[in-house]
Amino acid sequence: MEEYKLFDAEYRFLSVIWENEPVNSTELSRICLDRLGWKKSTTFNMIRKLTERGFVQNVDATVTAIVKKEQVAKYETETVIEKNFGGSLPAFIAAFLEGRKISPEEAAEVKRMIDEAEVKEDQ
């Protein structure tokens, strides 16, 4: 699952792409200057690097993401749970909820997701 591992700067850059895609590479460099303080060369180096790694594509100076935000988020979440909680989802949830209140709507949504996950497992 290492294929979705991103460093912080790479994630911030991809976030800009996800928000603006498809985006012209020159326009992307302007956005990155404004939001990230990056020079044009830094943006173009990042485009090249993430294209080589299969995260984005740059066709006719139009940059789009190949990897979706949800794929990266899933990888990051699984990594945190594995690394910090020994792969235990209940331990992760307990730590997340410690000292925190959730609304009845949030609780119902979590229960619904658990019920759906149990149904999938039974099939």
Mean pLDDT computed over 25-53: 97
Nearest to 75 by CA among 64, 83, 66, 65: 83
Residue 18: helix, strand or coil by DSSP? helix
Two tokens, residue 63: 């940059």
pLDDT tens-digit profile of 80-110?
999 999 999 899 999 989 999 999 999 999 9
Predicted local confidence at residue 1, as pLDDT: 38
Prediction pTM value = 0.76
Residue 118: per-residue pLDDT: 83
- In this prediction, residue 2 carries a pLDDT of 58
d(CA 76, CA 10): 13
